[in-house]
Amino acid sequence: MKYVLVVRPRADIDLAAHFLYLSERNPQAALRFDKAIAAALRKIQSDPCIGPRLAHEKTRHLDLRFYRPKGFRQYLVIFRLHDHTIYVSRILHGSQNIETAILDS
């Protein structure tokens, strides 16, 4: 089955912010991060059931899943599947307050 991947504007902003943060500290890591996120999105699109469900109490009703990009396990690509469309909601660092970030988006 072919799934449509939709990256929400907030996830694009997250990606740009993480890339900028990394590029200021380690430009090579930022480039690897960008490639890792692109690979993660392809993986999610090919198999949207790959990620475990996000088990935060306040966001459980949203039926969100997450996937950790290879080489950047501290980051989470947060998404949900609806019909044949995958919506990428956020790209967060594990140190961020996940519940607050999701509910504020």
Place of tokens 């991947």: 5
State residue 102's pLDDT score: 87
DSSP E strands in the chain: the ranges are 4-7, 65-67, 75-82, 85-93
| Claim: this prediction has a pTM higher than 0.75 | yes
Backbone angles phi, psi at 3, to 5 degrees: -105, 145
Domains along the sequence of the chain with CATH: 4-104 (3.30.2310.20)
pLDDT by residue for the chain (105 residues), tens digit each? 899 999 999 999 999 999 999 999 999 999 999 999 999 999 999 999 998 998 867 776 788 999 999 999 999 999 999 999 999 999 999 999 888 888 886
